[in-house]
Structure 1
Amino acid sequence: MRSNRIRTTVVAATALLAALSLTACSGESGSSESSKAGAAAPVANTIDKQATSQPESHATSQPQSQTAAPETGATEAPVTNSGTKSGGSGSGTTKNTVPPVKTGANKAGNTASATSTKTVTCTGSNTKVTVTKVSRPINHLLLTVTNAGSQLCNAYYAPKLRFDDAQAVFPILDDSQPQAVVTLEPGESAYAAIGLTGEPGSGPAPRKAAHLQVNFAGKSNVGSTGTPAELTLPANTYWDDNGFVTYWQTEMADALQY
């Protein structure tokens, strides 16, 4: 009996020692694993920090690149565009806002225009002159000069008339002088009235004439200039020394009022 108890006690003690040994090993193993886990934790944290720092690095470099692109585009836009928005890459049709350069043809055209506006003196060679009989006033003729050239011409003062082979120039009515020189564009006309006779009985008897020579005054009004116009007078035209001719007028009515 006693031996059985001792054996049982020994077995129980052995089992207890075995259990304590297993507990100690388990504690040491847990402590070791815990230590290992604790040692590994900083590594994991380091990796996490690196993973976190890498996106931060990318996030920093990426805005720099995006910022540079708009600056380049903002610099080039005024050069390539005329205030019109272009694509993000700056491509697209570029409008040229530089005014066109005048060509030689334009310059030639301007020269031709300046030449065509040059003013010359009206003479028999660049005008067409006609003489007609009018009913009012009586004993009057109407002289019409028309610019037949391609340039402006000035009809200076009054026409200087000679009937047939008369030696003296027909009298000019000074009261009819206009305020300015009459300038005719191509195709325009000026007018002068011819009073054939004076008051009846105030001078020699009227003379019949068939031909009229029209001379033109120059700017200085000394003598005549250019080629005269030679006209055939209406039938039964009579004149005397008391008659007159007016200055050139721009309107027919202004000429015939004298």
Structure 2
Amino acid sequence: MNRNRASRTRLLTAAATVALAALSLTACNDGSGVKDEGASSGSSTTVSPTASPTAGERTDDAKPAPDTPAASDTADTANAPAAKSPAAKAPAKNAPAASTRTVTCEGSTTRTVAAPLTRPVNHMLLTVTNTGSNTCYLYGYPAARFGEAQSVPPVDEDTKPQAVVTLKPGESGYASVRLSAADGSGSNGYTAKTLSVYFQGRSGNESVGSGATPALPAKGLYVDDSLEVTYWQQSMDSVLGW
């Protein structure tokens, strides 16, 4: 009887030990780790589970960073010129219309220069330049008065041009003056220190507008009764050989 009771006691003790071990294991599986029952009660080691994500599963650490521009894109954006709005076109300035008016050349709208020539000798070149804003016609020949002369020199009819000399603004016309005979055959010579040039109208029988007073050399020019002029010419070459 006592033997049976002792056996039963051992069985109950073993069963209790198994139950306590099961409970201990269950408690350790609650996320606090596995407790080493063989260690002393004063020290215990807890091992944390390190579960790795399965394929295709995204963890917080694996989340992609927000989209940011690439370095090259940022550089391009920084260096890109600012967009320009189309500039308003400035109104075009109206160019002055070319004048179609024509007038007769005269002293107030021209500049006259008198220049003695070395060849031919005893000759002088007259140059008239249109300083006005209109085209002008240089009719006939220069009515040149030297000093206090009461008359003007005649014109060489062989020099008459085929068309009226026409001067646009800035253009020049030319005439030559023979001052005296090269061989000394002229008479009634004198030294002139002033010169007045008058301009003819369409008919050639009258002077129009104001005259010109081109300067002469300080020592003056010697003239005699061989004095003669050419018609106005469009080209200087037409009078230099006269």
Shorter-chain TM-score category?
Answer: 0.5 to 0.7
**Counterpart mapping for 1:40-59 below 5 A:** none
Question: Which secondary structure does the structure 2 equivalent of 1:203 belong to?
Answer: coil
TM-score, normalised via structure 2 length: 0.58
- Of residues 142, 159, 162 in structure 1, which corresponds to 2:125? 142
Correspondence for 1:247: 231
Residue 198 of structure 1, CA deviation: 2.6
**Greater alpha carbon shift after TM alignment, 170-179 vs 152-161:** 170-179
Q: Structure 2: where are the runs of 5+ without partners?
A: 1-93
TM-score, normalised via structure 1 length: 0.54
Deviations 1:107-148 (A, max 9, x none): xx89x747x121100000100000111111111111000000
Once residues 208 and 223 of structure 1 are traced to their aligned partners in structure 2, the CA distance between those partners, rounded to angstroms, is 27
Correspondence for 2:153: 170
Figure out how many residues of one structure are paired with residues of the other and give that number. 148
Matched, 1:132 2:122: no
Q: Report the residue type matching 2:194 in the other structure.
A: H
Correspondence for 1:227: 210
**Counterpart mapping for 1:159-198 below 5 A:** 159-198=142-181
Once residues 116 and 182 of structure 2 are traced to their aligned partners in structure 1, the CA distance between those partners, rounded to angstroms, is 19
Residue 222 of structure 1, CA deviation: 1.2
Once residues 211 and 138 of structure 1 are traced to their aligned partners in structure 2, the CA distance between those partners, rounded to angstroms, is 20
Once residues 219 and 159 of structure 1 are traced to their aligned partners in structure 2, the CA distance between those partners, rounded to angstroms, is 13
Q: Report the residue type matching 1:122 in the other structure.
A: C
After TM superposition, where is structure 1 displaced by more than 6 Å over at least 4 residues in a row? none
Task: Check the 8 A contact 2:173/2:232 in 1, yes or no.
Answer: yes
Question: Which secondary structure does the structure 2 equivalent of 1:254 belong to?
Answer: helix
Structure 2 CA distance for partners of 1:135 and 1:203, relative to 1, 3 Å: closer
Root mean square deviation, CA, Å: 1.8
Correspondence for 1:152: 135
Correspondence for 2:82: none
Deviations 1:143-184 (A, max 9, x none): 000000000000001010100110011121111100000000
Once residues 212 and 200 of structure 1 are traced to their aligned partners in structure 2, the CA distance between those partners, rounded to angstroms, is 24
Once residues 110 and 214 of structure 2 are traced to their aligned partners in structure 1, the CA distance between those partners, rounded to angstroms, is 13
Percent identity of the aligned residues?
A: 47
Once residues 237 and 125 of structure 2 are traced to their aligned partners in structure 1, the CA distance between those partners, rounded to angstroms, is 10
Question: Which secondary structure does the structure 2 equivalent of 1:231 belong to?
Answer: coil
